[in-house]
Amino acid sequence: MGTHSKTEIKEGLPASRAARVRKVLSPGGIEAWLVEDYAVPLIALEFALIGGAAQEPKGKPGVATLLAGLLDEGAGPYDSDAFHRALEDQAIELSFSADRDFLSGRMQTLARNKARAFELLRLAATEARLEADAFERVKSQVAAGLKRDLNDPDTVASRTFRRLAYPEHPYGAPLRGDLGTLEALRRADVADLRAANFARDNLKIAVVGAIDAETLGRTLDEVFGALPEKAALAPVADIVFAGAGTRHVVDLDVPQSTIRFGRQAIARADKDFIAATVVNHVLGGGVFSARLFKEVREKRGLAYSVYSRLVDQDHAAMLWGGTSTKNERAAESMQVIEAEIRDLSEAGPSQDELEKAKQYLIGSYALRFDTSTKIASLLARLQAEGYGIDFLDERNRLIAAVTLADAKRAARRLFGDGALLVTVAGRPAGM
């Protein structure tokens, strides 16, 4: 695909972002999306394995987090210390994380060290030791974090919200587990989850940087070729958001109340999803022009930060928002938030609000492409969520095409009767 200037890398991909992305198929049939670029001598790789924490055994939340924490704690011939020294010796960055719908890995290396970097990635992905001492150490680290979180209002409000929104479903379970069940987790749980998730048929890979398609094709087989052909994923049911119209307070002796609110949203495959994205930006997209920012912060000084966003997962979709405010002003804050949601549902945004939201969403998209790691992360996520390469160009065109009628229809669907599930951590007066 040729060499591109450093200026292009800094400013993001050119007008046709999709034209820069090439599908590479290895001799063994492993696919990756590649942006070949030699402006800087770096290679960034990100992969996603479909499944994630939604595949954890019922009643055993936190297994996926433990697995992600163990993958670089010794692999192949290296124990944990030796593995980390090998990474540090050649300035290779390698990390893993767990989400509800997938497990992710990411690597960044200087091009001259790519052989060593890919070998260490291979070992972590296919030969992680999952040793007993490392397992207990990682579990202790997670437990320490959970203990700190017991009195953290943000965590308490968010965990309570998830549990009530998705009862008896994997999406309602705490991603890092909880203290009541963590101790019962065993190495076998981690090994079983790895065996179910790590396979070539649910592997999504993106690579950006100084590597050509032929070299990458061979490397894909070397790194991931030893994985089983097919994953053994359990079915995960779609779920509708629960609890709208109810409020729940978790008593914490803190001066501020931390609030989380939300309701059922529009799924990413729905024809109104893009319009709903624009409408949510009007409500609480985190910019000065958003209604919640103006009404909650600017006009009334109720909170420093207030936001809303759409959370579109494989089996659920929700509107999710939050703020923190003085205990004595929590009820007033929620009244303002609910009023704005009802108004948007009934009247929709104005033409001016619509145009400003579209302009921001289109203009800010380039910020997702200003580094190799950001590009690799986005490309891997798009694959995991079922999009094609053409969405890189189509996304802004779809946003630009949203009409006022589209926005009003999406607002009615998104906000409905305005009923919200609200969870509060603190001692809110009047709630």
Give the domain-ending residue among 209, 224, 239. Answer: 224
- Find where tokens 């992710």 sit: 104
Cα–Cα separations (whole angstroms), residue 282 to 13, 123, 155, 261: 27, 46, 26, 17
Q: Kindly compute the dihedral angle of the four CA atoms of residues 413, 415, 419, 423, in this order, to the nearest 10 degrees.
A: 130
| Domain containing residue 63 | 6-224
Cα–Cα distance for residue pair 228/196, rounded to 1 Å: 9
Tell me the pLDDT of the chain averaged across its residues: 95
More confident residue, 430 or 72: 72
Taking each helix axis from N to C end, the angle separating 351-363 and 273-284, rounded to the nearest 10 degrees, works out to 100
Cα–Cα separations (whole angstroms), residue 412 to 272, 390, 425: 11, 29, 30
Kindly state whether residue 386 falls inside one of the protein's structural domains: yes
Q: What is the mean pLDDT of residues 50-69?
A: 97
Same domain, 266 and 414: yes
Same domain, 204 and 85: yes
pLDDT at 50: 97
Same domain, 185 and 277: no
C-beta neighbour count of 128 within 10 angstroms: 23
- Quick: pLDDT tens for 202-222: 999 999 999 999 999 999 999
Kindly state whether residue 268 falls inside one of the protein's structural domains: yes
Same domain, 303 and 345: yes
321: which 2 tokens? 């928002």
Q: Kindly compute the dihedral angle of the four CA atoms of residues 359, 365, 367, 372, in this order, to the nearest 10 degrees.
A: -170
pLDDT at 216: 98
Q: What is the mean pLDDT of residues 70-94?
A: 98
Kindly state whether residue 234 falls inside one of the protein's structural domains: no
Q: Kindly compute the dihedral angle of the four CA atoms of residues 110, 113, 117, 120, in this order, to the nearest 10 degrees.
A: -150
Same domain, 281 and 391: yes
Same domain, 353 and 321: yes
Residue 79 Rama label (left phi>0; alpha psi -120 to 50; beta): beta
Length of the chain: 431
pLDDT at 287: 80
Kindly state whether residue 242 falls inside one of the protein's structural domains: no
Same domain, 252 and 333: yes
* Percentage of residues of the chain with pLDDT beyond 70: 97
Q: Do β-strands 31-36 and 203-209 pair in parallel, antiparallel, or remain unpaired?
A: parallel
- Quick: pLDDT tens for 310-346: 999 999 999 999 999 999 999 999 999 999 999 999 9
Contacts of 153 (CB under 8 A, 6+ apart): 252, 254, 256, 257, 258, 324, 425, 426
Kindly state whether residue 376 falls inside one of the protein's structural domains: yes
Taking each helix axis from N to C end, the angle separating 391-400 and 351-363, rounded to the nearest 10 degrees, works out to 160
Q: What is the mean pLDDT of residues 245-261?
A: 97
Q: Lowest-pLDDT range, 5-9, 66-70, 140-144, 282-286?
A: 5-9
**Helix H or strand E segment including 110:** strand 102-110
Same domain, 97 and 56: yes
pLDDT at 15: 66
Q: Strand 421-426: give its sheet, edge to edge.
A: 247-251, 421-426, 256-264, 317-326, 306-312
Kindly state whether residue 192 falls inside one of the protein's structural domains: yes
pLDDT at 286: 75
Taking each helix axis from N to C end, the angle separating 330-347 and 404-415, rounded to the nearest 10 degrees, works out to 130
Nearest Cα to 56, choosing from 160, 196, 179? 196
- Name residue 264's beta-bridge partners: 318
Predicted structure pTM score: 0.92
**Helix H or strand E segment including 308:** strand 306-312
Q: How many domains does the chain have?
A: 2
Cα–Cα distance for residue pair 145/115, rounded to 1 Å: 35
Same domain, 417 and 288: yes
In which band, very low, low, confident or very high, does the pLDDT at 99 lie, cut at 50, 70 and 90?
A: very high
Q: What is the mean pLDDT of residues 340-358?
A: 98
Cα–Cα distance for residue pair 58/186, rounded to 1 Å: 14
Residue 199 has pLDDT above 90, yes or no: yes
Same domain, 157 and 58: yes
The distance in angstroms from the start CA to the end CA of the chain is 59
249 and 256 Cβ atoms separated by less than 8 Å? no
Kindly state whether residue 237 falls inside one of the protein's structural domains: no
Same domain, 294 and 216: no
Residue 11 has pLDDT above 70, yes or no: no
CATH number at residue 12: 3.30.830.10
Same domain, 382 and 260: yes
Q: Lowest-pLDDT range, 6-20, 22-36, 74-88, 178-192?
A: 6-20
Residue 6 has pLDDT above 50, yes or no: no
Residue 27 has pLDDT above 60, yes or no: yes
Kindly state whether residue 238 falls inside one of the protein's structural domains: no
